[in-house]
Amino acid sequence: MSTLCKAKKPPGRVIYANGKIKVYEIDGHEHKLYCQNLCLMAKLFLDNKTLYYDTDGFKFYVLTENSKYKSLDEMVGYFSKEKISYDGYNLACIMTLPSHQRKGYGRLLIELSYELSKHEGKIGSPEKPLSPLGSLGYHSYWASTVMTTLLHFRGKVTIQEICKETCIHEEDVIGTLSRLNLLCYRKLENGQQHICITDKMLQDALSQFNIKLGRKLDPHNIRWK
């Protein structure tokens, strides 16, 4: 007797749609079995993944590709997020299926997690330690986002201003600047540490570290309600 799943899409509501791509927001309390299965599947690909069967305190953001041939939204990746994080985490676990990697989906999910932080008016950071692939994805995102902000301010900006503009945690901003050899300060009269970076330093960093600017996610396509 066939026991194939007849569902054509994940549960929850669509909060992002762009072409064949959708992201579903799923409450771990309302759809516990589905979210538990997501955690079990992620464990297959993430060695440092801790299994949690109590999904009540989490929301899950599932990325899908629309398959016209099969007439369904196929899950290709997801991230989970605590409903209330006392440590300021905006992401608990992130996973893209190996068959769909190198499509920019991991980057899109990371960008969405920070858009959620901006919507909540909070500074965010992923739960650590990051997996090797997660670390690569975040370092790329932080470098691109911090460089975009530096270019906007023409290299004259404080750490606090970068955090406010991007919602990236101060520790991650400082770590990114250090990796890019841009952690240069000059003291201001009010005691704030103000970054002072020349246009040449910015262009050299873009070239040396092969930083690609631009975004995978269009914030205008997010459905907040």
The answer to whether residues 156 and 195 touch, using CB atoms and an 8 Å cutoff, is yes
Catalytic position from the list 30, 127, 171, 189: 127
Closest CA to 77 of 124, 22, 6: 22
- 127 has catalytic annotation: yes
**Cα(52)–Cα(103) distance, integer angstroms:** 28
Count the Cβ atoms, other than its own, within 10 Å of residue 86.
6
**Cα(166)–Cα(213) distance, integer angstroms:** 14
The answer to whether residues 119 and 95 touch, using CB atoms and an 8 Å cutoff, is no
- Give all strands of the β-sheet with 13-18 in edge-to-edge order: 13-18, 21-27, 58-67, 72-82, 93-96
Residue 221: in which H helix or E strand, if any? none
Q: Which residues pair with 64 in a beta bridge?
A: 22, 75
Residue 45: in which H helix or E strand, if any? helix 32-45
Q: What positions carry a catalytic annotation?
A: 127
